[in-house]
Structure 1
Amino acid sequence: MKTQRPIISDDEHVVLKFRPRTSAHPPGGREEPGPAKSSPTKSSPTKASPAKASPSANDLSRYEQPRDEGDDFRHRMLANVAALAFTVALTAIGIWLAVSIADLRKTQDCVLMGRRDCAGISVTP
């Protein structure tokens, strides 16, 4: 049986030129949408000085908000303790579940082999 190969013309293949992202404006000539363009700040690029804006174009300082009050370290530490407790509880539940499944599997294998002494008998004093 003969395999059929699609006929490919040269019009379907296009070589794209690679341009590194070093310019202040993204490729295509479009400006970035967002609230930073509506109210220019000291760190946001302006149209008057595109040469100076290129180093700060990738800077995240335009997304920073001024803080009137300091950090609440007590709240941060309580959140960290709560996250740690949740992680430890989730890990303990996962380990318990894995051990329980392994014990059930061992008991099931014992029963399927035809043995009669599979169930553990607990003796209370």
Structure 2
Amino acid sequence: MKSQRPIISDDEHVVLKFQPRTSAHPPTRREESDPAKTPNIKTSNIKTPSIKAPPAASDLSRYERSRDEGDDFRHRMLANVAALAFTVALTAIGIWLAMSIADLRKTQDCVLMGRHDCARISVTPLG
């Protein structure tokens, strides 16, 4: 049996030059490679995209606070306590829901087996 390999022409290969971004010096323009300097690359099918200047890097100075400004410790702790209470309540509701679904599934399986003693009857002692 003959091994089959894909036929690849040189027209399908394009070499792109990527430059890493740095926050200190954002790229303002892309350097174009000179087709005469790069050997073995056909330039007849290479499409050069329109180059637009990227927007300036986001400045985070508007979120900075000066050292002189006091930290609202009480507000931050109240927010943390509220987040913890919400997480605990959500976890408790999730556990209760899982237990209820498991109990309903057990009761439904009992009924589907044809048994008659599936319902729980709570008995309170007299006296």
Correspondences of 1:1-125 after superposition (within 5 Å)? 9-22=9-22, 24-29=24-29, 30=53, 32-33=55-56, 36=59, 63-66=63-66, 69-125=69-125
What TM-score do you get using the length of structure 1 for normalisation? Answer: 0.61
**Equivalent residue pairs, number:** 97
> Structure 1 residues 24 and 12 mapped into 2: Cα distance closer, same or farther (>3 Å)?
farther
Structure 2 distance, partners of 1:12, 1:82, is 58
Structure 2 distance, partners of 1:88, 1:114, is 40
1:64 Cα offset (Å): 1.8
Preserved CA contact (<8 Å) 1:110 1:118: yes
Structure 2 distance, partners of 1:99, 1:75, is 36
1:102 Cα offset (Å): 0.3
> Structure 1 residues 80 and 62 mapped into 2: Cα distance closer, same or farther (>3 Å)?
closer
Structure 1 distance, partners of 2:12, 2:66, is 52
RMSD: 3.0
1:14 Cα offset (Å): 1.7
**Match in the other structure for 2:39:** none
Structure 1 distance, partners of 2:83, 2:72, is 17
- Which has the larger helix fraction? 1
Preserved CA contact (<8 Å) 1:25 1:31: no
Structure 2 distance, partners of 1:62, 1:32, is 17
Structure 2 distance, partners of 1:35, 1:17, is 25
Structure 1 distance, partners of 2:105, 2:23, is 62
Query: How high is the sequence identity, in percent, across the aligned residues?
Result: 84
